Chain A
Amino acid sequence: MKNPRKNLYYLHGAIQHTELLYTIRQSFILEAEKRKRKQIKIFDSFDQRLFQKNKLLCYEDNTWKLLDLTTFQYEQKSPDKPDKKFYWQFCDKNLCDYLKDILNTRALIEKAIISYTQTIYHIKNSDKKTVARLRHFELEISDLSLPDNIFLLEEVRGYQKSFDKLGLIITDLAINEFSENNKSLFTRLLGMDIEPYSNSFSVNLKPEMSAATAIREIMVFLTNIMRKNEEGISLDIDTEFLHDYRVAIRRVRTILSEMKSLIPNDQYEYFKTFFIKVLKISNVLRDLDVLLLKKDSYRDLLPLAVKDNSNFIFKTISKKRTVELKKVKNFLKSTEYEQYLWEWQDFINRLEGMQINNEPLSRYIDIVARQRIEKKINTLQKKKFKFKKDVSPQVLHELRIETKKLKYMLEAFRFLYPENTAMSIINNLKKIQDRFGLLHDLLVQQNLLDLYFNELDAKGKIAGKEAAAFGALINLLNQQYQSAHRKSINKFHKFIKSGDYARLNHAEMIEERL
């Protein structure tokens, strides 16, 4: 069924709302409900995942409401307490499931609080039957560039003609409708950022750019991502801030190492050491985050006899996490970190100027990047023939690093290739990385648990049942590791043998473009 239409208008400039009401009264009967003063709180994740899907999550009248911004219909309503940060804290199952799909581990942040006075007008025909509704919102906002009088005209099912007539009345008064043309106004009104944060690689590179310019563009983008996530890490809003921060650093490291022949060696070594240090400092915190995110699923899989005692393990891990978070927070606010970052940003800004004395930096990025990617593909092609299912962990590790670098390079220089080819290979590489990521996590988690158990044991701070819970969890992780290991090797074997990535080689690319 088609939803009744709803149009949103705003008053700006000389027109008064009384003028609109007066004009409507010339053709309809207008009955006003009592004015109500209200307050609405708007929530979204840091990267505005809901708003990007045209949804607005708000809290009003002790109820969580999910509004579809294309139809202005409430899709979900759930009376509940306001203290919700993550999807799993919502009592209403439908709302919880919906938010899970979109927010995942992202926390909800209060984006705006809007106080307003609402008057509902019932617009009636001569038979005193309601044929449309008009909601008038008088917003209490301090930003004078934003409209403070908003009208929502609602169609009543079966009275389309009246709605159309009212639409014309409003348009004739030169009242503006919120539309794609003035989306930024609406975006700002809801407390949302016009250009929301995104961790996906979106640098607009051009083939005719010099390597210096392209590298600078990429590094500026990635450094901005790092900086945007620092506050979220320090405030411990959710675990994605650290994740995105670290991914940005890994991307920086990959591009830096792949382009090292173009930059002065001493500078390369200097910044490489810095980025390794940042990753090392945050390694354990990230590992503990991943472990704690899986807390519920791990607990569910533990034997009944030790399930309750697993709380002790997760409490221990939470305490350890607090310590690790403090280390990272201290590092992020240290002068050393600021100094390094200042030098790094200065280096990036000087890159273009370096071209004069450094010929390789002035080469076209198109050629440089292709050469590097082709080299990566050739390395993988050579290793493909040596790859067997009983591959040694060392070779596997090297291959994993190579594929990871290829993925980061492809993401950065995707513009060089036909979109579909590049995306399909990036997606395949992502799947492989996810599998190996899982393997890595399971192994690291076992080691961490083993370490913490030994620490507690040495201090005599662990009882029999709690020790058993530790043992059961390590055993469970080991079982999952073994099973994931077999599957990952098979998947990787298939990927390497298929040589799918070789589609990116130069000749095929030219052919596809033609």
Chain B
Amino acid sequence: MSVFALYNIKGGVGKTSAAVNFAWLSAQQDKTLLIDLDPQSASSFYFRVRAAKKHSSKKLIKKTKSLDKFIRGTDFPGLDILPADLSYRNLDLELKKSKNSRSRLRRILNNFKEEYTVIIIDCPPNITLVSENIFQAADYLLIPTIPTYLSELTLIKLIDFFTEENISQKKIQPFFSMVEKRKKLHLQKIDELSEKYHFLINHIPYLSDIEKMGEERMPVCSQRPASPAAQAYKNLWEEINKRIKNKDN
């Protein structure tokens, strides 16, 4: 089982769009579970799924063995989702109350290792106890980064945090997101940061097709497979898998 988390301290960087499309791409090969941890529930919305009425952050943390009843199948075979609930805004508090508060999520995910080959987590922004759980649980943190000064700053902060907490930096896999090539600053930042922080080569451009996903409630990779947006996600997902395979070898 491989666990990928789409994460950034900053919000609005394209985490959910990437999570939804990577999950769809992954499900074409492997049985995949998308976990929506963001209380905004955008991933769940994209797949037309709502959390069960009885589901809550408390259940997520405490009823780890019976979580399967909250998982929903999507419109796509091989792709399931554990939808988010508004109560996830209190996830930090629930984690604080629990034992092994930093490795709780890893334990939760262990329940799914027989069923799913790939797990993709759509994470909420910020560095909180939830994020620390994600850092422990994920094999790879995919960091969508807009090529701007502020984004660079947040990436540096994340790397520093990993150093302080003695977490392997190899987990961090940044990629450029919402790239507008007509903007000089974007091009300059891509040039500057690519090698320095080992960015993935492929990037996600800023395209209206991605924004339309909200209206169509479907991954762009499924709705418009030939579009440049779908192609960008596909190329990036292939690169991620290739990089992982190389590391494993």
Give 1 or 0 for each of A142-169: 1 = CB within 8 Å of chain B CB. 0000000000000111110000000000
**Complex CA distance for A129 and B49, rounded to whole angstroms:** 8
B73 touches A130 (CB 8 A): yes
Q: Shortest CB–CB separation between residue B52 and chain A, in angstroms?
A: 8
**Complex CA distance for A195 and B206, rounded to whole angstroms:** 63
Residues of B within 8 A of A304 (CB): none
B68 touches A1 (CB 8 A): yes
Prevailing SS type, chain B contact patch: loop
Residues of A within 8 A of B114 (CB): 1
A128's nearest neighbour on chain B, judged by CB, is: B48
Q: Shortest CB–CB separation between residue B32 and chain A, in angstroms?
A: 12
B29's nearest neighbour on chain A, judged by CB, is: A77
A156 touches B73 (CB 8 A): yes
B115's nearest neighbour on chain A, judged by CB, is: A1
A158 touches B73 (CB 8 A): yes
Residues of B within 8 A of A512 (CB): none
Find residues 63-85 in chain B having any chain A CB closer than 8 Å to their own CB: 68-75, 77, 80
Interface size class of A (residues with CB under 8 A): 10 to 19
A129 touches B71 (CB 8 A): no
**Complex CA distance for A130 and B74, rounded to whole angstroms:** 7
A130 touches B68 (CB 8 A): no
Known: A1-B112, A127-B48. A157 touches B73 (CB 8 A): yes
A253 touches B (CB below 8 Å): no
Q: Shortest CB–CB separation between residue B190 and chain A, in angstroms?
A: 36
Q: Shortest CB–CB separation between residue A439 and chain B, in angstroms?
A: 43
Query: Chain B: how many interface residues by the 8 Å CB criterion?
Result: 17
A160's nearest neighbour on chain B, judged by CB, is: B69
Q: Shortest CB–CB separation between residue B118 and chain A, in angstroms?
A: 14
B73 touches A159 (CB 8 A): yes
Find residues 118-147 in chain A having any chain B CB closer than 8 Å to their own CB: 122, 127-130, 133
Q: Which of A122, A129, A157 contacts B80 (CB 8 A)?
A: A157
B75 touches A129 (CB 8 A): yes
Known: A1-B112, A127-B48. A157 touches B75 (CB 8 A): no
A158 touches B48 (CB 8 A): no
A157 touches B71 (CB 8 A): yes
Residues of A within 8 A of B49 (CB): 129, 158
**Complex CA distance for A56 and B115, rounded to whole angstroms:** 20
B112 touches A157 (CB 8 A): no
A2 touches B (CB below 8 Å): yes
A133's nearest neighbour on chain B, judged by CB, is: B77
A191 touches B (CB below 8 Å): no
Residues of A within 8 A of B48 (CB): 127-129
**Complex CA distance for A129 and B48, rounded to whole angstroms:** 6
A471 touches B (CB below 8 Å): no
B77 touches A157 (CB 8 A): no
**Complex CA distance for A122 and B73, rounded to whole angstroms:** 12
Residues of B within 8 A of A232 (CB): none
Residues of B within 8 A of A130 (CB): 73-75
Residues of B within 8 A of A156 (CB): 72-73
B71's nearest neighbour on chain A, judged by CB, is: A157
**Complex CA distance for A159 and B71, rounded to whole angstroms:** 10
What are 7 A-B residue pairs whose CB atoms fall within 8 Å in the complex?
A4-B73, A122-B75, A128-B48, A129-B49, A130-B75, A133-B77, A155-B73
Q: Known pairs A127-B48, A155-B73, A158-B70. 16 more at Cβ < 8 A?
A: A1-B68, A1-B111, A1-B115, A2-B68, A4-B73, A128-B48, A129-B48, A133-B77, A156-B73, A157-B71, A157-B72, A157-B73, A157-B80, A158-B49, A158-B71, A158-B72
Contacts from B to A (Cβ < 8 Å): 48-49, 52, 68-75, 77, 80, 111-112, 114-115
Contacts from A to B (Cβ < 8 Å): 1-2, 4, 122, 127-130, 133, 155-159
